[in-house]
């Protein structure tokens, strides 16, 4: 869920992104979703044994760009999975041949592993959105931040059947240098957004559509929600926006890794 008000979210994200540019070597085991495995050789004289797959190093800088280039968008879906709305979001994405990134809350993933597996099976990517979606995480201790991020990673990975989240999105954009470095060390690229559809506020489908169209010049990563209440306006807005984006010549990609 986006955090609204006077916190200057985008400017704060950019400033934070400039603060730490550490490229962390990932320590978590990666899966086919990342499409990469690491290798290694046994020490001299030691018996050969298979090397454990590892995540490719990712940057701790907050990602906003698309892997499909400048004339592309990234659809990101937050706060689920939800047993009512996630299947409907999946259907509209399927109808339009679009892949998205689902930023999942750990407790929701744990409660609905069947939906996490559906998301993965459909070719979408997973993102760690913490255990409990605490938008004040940036004011809490590093121990608390670690628990929220690492436990959610574990919950999502288990629910998915072994697919690790590829990104980390702080609730409400409450990133810290520590949380970004920690996520990157687990192979998860910190993920921001450029366009807040405001769908969480349920302003009406037309308003959601108008907001996205009006803010699209800000950048490619668009924020929607599939949980947190009635998301019928989100489903309807996606049904309008996805064909419109195609008509404007936009490609659909994933956030850069």
Residues with a known catalytic role = 78, 225
Whether residue 192 contacts residue 174, with contact meaning beta carbons closer than 8 Å, is answered with: no
Which residues pair with residue 224 across a beta bridge? 77
Residue 213: how many CB atoms within 10 A of its CB? 15
Q: Is 97 helix (H, G, I), strand (E, B) or coil?
A: coil
The Cα 135–Cα 105 span in angstroms is: 12
Q: Which long-range contacts (CB under 8 A, 24 or more apart) does 137-145 make?
A: 137/170, 137/171, 137/174, 137/176, 137/179, 138/170, 138/174, 138/175, 138/176, 138/179, 139/174, 142/178, 145/176, 145/178, 145/179, 145/182
The Cα 131–Cα 109 span in angstroms is: 9
Whether residue 54 contacts residue 30, with contact meaning beta carbons closer than 8 Å, is answered with: yes
Rg (CA), the chain: 18
- What are the distances in angstroms from CA 69 to CA 65, 136, 251? 8, 33, 8
**Pairing, β 125-128 against β 167-168:** parallel
The Cα 85–Cα 77 span in angstroms is: 11
Whether residue 44 contacts residue 176, with contact meaning beta carbons closer than 8 Å, is answered with: no
């Amino acid at each position: 869920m986006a955090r609204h008000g006077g916190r200057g979210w985008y400017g704060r994200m950019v400033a934070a992104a400039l603060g730490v540019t550490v490229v962390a070597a990932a320590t978590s085991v990666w899966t086919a979703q990342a499409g990469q495995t690491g290798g290694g050789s046994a020490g001299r004289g030691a018996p050969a044994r298979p090397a454990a797959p590892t995540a490719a190093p990712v940057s701790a800088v907050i990602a906003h760009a698309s892997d499909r280039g400048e004339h592309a968008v990234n659809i990101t879906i937050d706060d689920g999975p939800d047993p009512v709305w996630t299947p409907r979001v999946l259907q509209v994405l399927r109808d339009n041949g679009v892949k998205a990134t689902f930023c999942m809350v750990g407790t929701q993933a744990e409660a609905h592993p069947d939906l996490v597996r559906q998301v993965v099976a459909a070719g979408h990517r997973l993102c760690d959105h913490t255990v409990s979606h605490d938008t004040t995480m940036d004011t809490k201790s590093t121990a608390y931040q670690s628990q929220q991020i690492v436990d959610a990673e574990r919950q999502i990975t288990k629910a998915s059947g072994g697919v690790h989240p590829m990104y980390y999105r702080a609730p409400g954009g409450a990133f810290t240098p520590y949380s970004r470095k920690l996520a990157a060390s687990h192979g998860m690229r910190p993920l921001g957004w450029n366009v807040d559809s405001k769908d969480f506020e349920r302003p009406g489908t037309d308003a959601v559509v108008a907001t996205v169209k009006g803010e699209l010049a800000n950048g490619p990563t668009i924020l929607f929600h599939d949980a947190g209440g009635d998301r019928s306006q989100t489903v309807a807005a996606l049904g309008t926006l996805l064909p419109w984006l195609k008509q404007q010549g936009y490609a659909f990609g994933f956030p850069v890794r």
